[in-house]
Amino acid sequence: MKRLRWIAEHFEEVLGAVLLTVMACLAFTNVVTRYLFQLPLAFTEEIEVNSLVWLTMLGTSAAFRRGSHLRMLFIYGRFSTRARRWVDLLISILAFVLFIILGYLGYNQLLDEKLLEITSESLNFPQWIYTLCIPLGCILIAFRIIQSSYKSWNKAEV
């Protein structure tokens, strides 16, 4: 039960590690087949590039969960504790709005790709499958922003 809870709490890291392992194996296989057998596997690049977008979304989500997203620490450190609390809240609200808008735009792009039946170049997969990471990633990030803001706000009150 403890392991399942840890995996649920560190979902982004687990999925990111698996994805990064798959990407490394694909890249290695591509290098071996290209240079030893003169048979490049072009489709691996398509999978790797699109997986990198997933990794970016998962990394962003993990950063917000930990509260280790980018800040201007030089300026932030000069604020009082009370001011930092309000700055953190403002940052969270702005980040939340940003990722909701990005998710909405990603969803619209996904709908356009479905409507126009756009396929990927190498594998001829429907392109919307790759684009799905934007709205799903933004939902996960928005959830983690709310989660970390709630924890941060309640911790500061104690």
pLDDT of residue 41: 86
What is the pTM (predicted TM-score) of this model? 0.85
Got the DSSP string for 86-133?
HHHHHHHHHHHHHHHHHHHHHHHHHHHHHHTT-B-TTT--BHHHHHTH
Q: Report helix, strand or coil for 9.
A: helix
Q: Are 111 and 129 in contact (CB under 8 A)?
A: no
Give the model confidence (pLDDT) of 27-75 as tens digits. 999 999 988 888 888 888 889 999 999 999 999 999 988 877 776 667 7
Mean pLDDT throughout 10-18?
91
- List C-alpha distances in Å: 97 to 1, 70, 109, 118: 35, 16, 18, 29
Q: What is the pLDDT of residues 71-86, one digit of tens each?
A: 666 777 788 888 888 8
Amino acid present at 48: E
SS3 56: helix
As a whole number of Å, the CA-based R_g of the chain is 20
